[in-house]
Chains A and B, each alone.
Chain A
Amino acid sequence: MYYFDWELFWRYIWPPSAFQDPLLRAGLVVTIVVSIVAQALGVGFGLLAALGKMSKFAGFRWLADGYIWYFRGTPLLVQMSLLFFGLGVTHIYDFPDIRLGILTISGAIQAGTLALAINEGAYMAEIIRAGIESIDPGQMEAAKSLGMNYSLAMRRIILPQAARVIIPPLGNEFNNMMKTTSLLQVISASELFFAFNQANARLFKPFELFIAASLYYLALTTIWSFIQSRIEARVGERKGATQRPGLWQRFLSGGTKGAH
């Protein structure tokens, strides 16, 4: 019969005691910051790829298609390893640490964030394109007939409307993103899961520690669900948009799909 070490378990899920471990404290911050930065960059890459896919220039379409094909068709873990270890060994880019005042961003975190962002962009591209294509073509015609060029019409007329369609799946992508950052531990980026792995290497209590780790991620995604439903309610209220699933329904579904 396995002896469950409650004392250790509580110590690791009760924040005041858990955060005495500097690795865990930093790990939580890294996980949150990396998620936000990677998702934001991913939206940027996705927007570029979506516009590329809809471009009238064949070169841009091929570029966007190739990007989406490769990054959706290969595992994120492989992409991340290729970027960090692969580029490192060629000395094309070594991912040196970046110092910002007292803050040091390790090469592993940079590479991991970039890999997450590039991978995410390939998924966001399809979400953004679907959002743009859901807008009645008459909107673009009306904008053009008023003398707007393509980019002005996109920014002021099409994208604000497409955002209403894009925001719900974007929220789900961010939910996934927070969980997927745990892959960064394979390139030794000091995020949340890395901190628990280090603790486990010291204490060898994988059952207690990894349950504790899972609860941190659950807390993050649950808080995000709250924020997400508030955002969606705000975006939807003006035009009496369709009813979103209720809060409880959303918590229990825990996001929509596994990590990419």
Chain B
Amino acid sequence: MSAQPDKQVIVHAEKVNKFFGALHVLKDVSLDVYKNEVVVILGPSGSGKSTFLRCINHLEKINDGHIYVNGHMIGYLERDGRLVEDSEANIARQRAEIGMVFQRFNLFPHLTALGNVIEAPIRVRGIPASQARAEGERLLERVGLADKRNQYPNQLSGGQQQRVAIARALAMKPNLMLFDEPTSALDPEMIGEVLEVMQELADEMTMIVVSHEMGFARAAAQRVVFMDKGQIIEQGAPEEFFDHPKEERTRLFLGQILH
């Protein structure tokens, strides 16, 4: 392991179950993620890994179980031993502390790169526009796009758009970052620039990354989690996980993606 994780739990998921109609997409998924830890979730498509990630900031509802982020249950309140949906305001408040980066970037096309970055700090956090702009420019510089701040998303390449999306999420100063297949929609020559930004972040952030990028997982992750058919099959430090997988299904999957 590259760094010993703190013991403070950031995400605590406990026996999470989810159905899409009759389809049981998450089966008793439990996972703890610690402060400053970087966890990469791997798995074949349809394994439930993206769905699980989206449950962590309540973009998806869960049918059973609990998810705590920063010590508070997300999306639900416990009332008389039963779970009821939390208020919109409470959910929004918790989401503000969780950054998310999407496979398809989801930048706001009517706003410039800088506009994308400063929108939520100004409207949600109430930060003065001048301060938000200064911080936004610093963030764009950090992801190597200082000169693109006045460009609209459709004037940027996929890799640049994804870097703006990372800056946008960081602008809220989250203490947890979720990445949902951040490089899957990119042309191969643009994957590197995005992974580079993520790798720099990995030294200082708690991150959960759904991705098939083995190089990134080996270099930046403290832990790799393998999911299949809605369950966590195996997890461990990257060297151990990639070089000596314990489960047959893991070996099969790694065999497929490494060749």
Contacts and interface: CB of A to CB of B under 8 A. Distances in A.
B57 interface: yes
A141 interface: yes
Interface of A is mostly: helix
B152 A138 contact: no
B134 interface: no
A139 B106 CA distance: 6
A181 B218 CA distance: 70
A138 B123 contact: no
A150 B88 contact: yes
Contacts of A138: 102, 104, 106
Interface in A104-142: 136, 138-139, 141-142
A148 B116 CA distance: 13
Contact of A145 (B59, B88, B123, B125): B59
B95 interface: yes
B89 interface: yes
Contacts of B59: 141, 144-145
A145 B104 contact: no
Interface residues of B, number: 29
Contact of B106 (A136, A147, A148, A238): A136
Interface string A145-162: 111111010001100110
Contacts of B124: 146-148, 152
Given A136-B106, A139-B108, A161-B109, A147 B88 contact: no
Nearest to B125: A147
Contacts, number: 67
A148 B104 contact: no
Interface in A147-179: 147-150, 152, 156-157, 160-161
B168 interface: yes
B95 A141 contact: no
B108 A157 contact: yes
Contacts of B169: 145-146
Given A156-B123, A160-B110, A239-B152, A145 B98 contact: yes
B120 A147 contact: yes
A139 B168 CA distance: 13
Interface string B107-127: 111100000000110011100
A141 B59 CA distance: 7
B108 A238 contact: no
A92 to B, nearest CB: 37
B154 interface: yes
B102 A141 contact: yes
Given A138-B106, A139-B106, A239 B92 contact: no
A146 B104 contact: no
8 contacts: A139-B108, A148-B120, A152-B123, A156-B119, A156-B123, A157-B108, A157-B119, A239-B110
Task: In the A-B complex, list the 4 residue pairs whose CB atoms are closest, starting with the nearest.
Answer: A147-B96, A146-B120, A142-B106, A145-B100
Interface of A: 136, 138-139, 141-150, 152, 156-157, 160-161, 238-240
